[in-house]
Amino acid sequence: MVSRSQEVLLGGVVFVAIVIVVVGTVWLSEQFAGAAGGYRLHVKFDSVAGLQRGNALTIRGVRVGKVLKVELRDGQPVVTIGFADRTTLPRDSKILLKSEGLLGGQMIEIQVGSAVTASFASGDTVKGISGTGLETVMNNAASMVEQLNVAVSQTLNVESIQQIQRVLSDVDSASTNLKYFLDENRSAISDVLDSLALASGDAREMIGENRPEVKKAVESLRRSSERLASLSENLDSASGSLEELLGNLNHITGKIKSGEGTLGKLVQDGRVYDNLQRTLSTVDSLVSAIKKEPKKYLNVDLHIF
């Protein structure tokens, strides 16, 4: 018969064995098997507030692994994640830190990329994207509300309210005056509109009756425009010819100023001018002498046969 001490010893052994099995199973599941298999990645985040070891790793809402470790490396949070069944993950995939719900904890969501050849190897370190949790949203909302309150306080001061009241009063007064003006001149406005409608109808009728003349006038205007364009071209050509003539005159004037040619020498050389003056004086003296005594200078014999 089994003694009391043997029963206690057997119970203790069974208890220790159960503890070892449970602890071993948890340890193996945590490190290698189960929901966190051998394929794992190290993910860097800017912040991992609320994320804990064992939180879910999902793809499109389906749990595919879990968080194995959360630690600091060089002052930056690094999260080690493990996958249950996957052995590859495309390099264009995105790893996001998200909230499980409005009041729940954190989780990591994988947006699987489409790259076929490039994949992360087990143990690679990748960059994650920190999602916006409820706390961040509330902080941003509180900041926005505070800024809105400041803006409203700065805008709705006593002076601004009085100015708004004056503007509204002026608008109300202008609206009343406009209504009064329209009521007083309703018949006149109606007559003006009728006159405009009649004038429009008359103009349409006149254009319809004189359509051929209108076409002729338009055609004449077009031909006049063409003639004006031709005249403008002729003026441009004449302007070019005039510029060429002025250029030639400038060239000739330059030659005269430089003493080139007979005219240039006559203008620039004083001796030529003096010789010409003396020659002209001699010719004048000879002509005067011939007039006084023509027989002395003109001896003409006439023989008649």
Report the alpha-carbon distance of residue 96 to residue 99 in Å, rounded.
10
Report the alpha-carbon distance of residue 69 to residue 123 in Å, rounded.
13
Q: Both tokens of residue 265?
A: 């020498």
> pLDDT by residue (tens digit) across 149-197?
777 676 666 677 777 878 888 888 888 888 877 888 888 887 788 788 7
Q: What is the pTM of this model?
A: 0.38
> pLDDT by residue (tens digit) across 32-46?
444 556 899 999 999
- Dihedral over Cα of 19, 22, 23, 28: its sign: positive
pLDDT of residue 277: 75
pLDDT of residue 263: 62
Q: What is the mean predicted confidence (pLDDT) over 57-73?
A: 92
In degrees, to the nearest 5, what angle opens at C-alpha 214 toward C-alphas 212 and 219? 95
- Dihedral over Cα of 242, 244, 250, 252: its sign: negative
> pLDDT by residue (tens digit) across 97-143?
988 766 567 899 999 998 888 899 999 999 999 865 445 555 666 67
- Contact assessment for residue 45 and residue 128, using Cβ atoms and an 8 Å cutoff: yes
Domain boundaries, the chain: 32-134
User: Of the segments 6-15, 220-229, 245-254, which one has the largest average pLDDT value?
Assistant: 220-229
Report the alpha-carbon distance of residue 113 to residue 89 in Å, rounded.
8
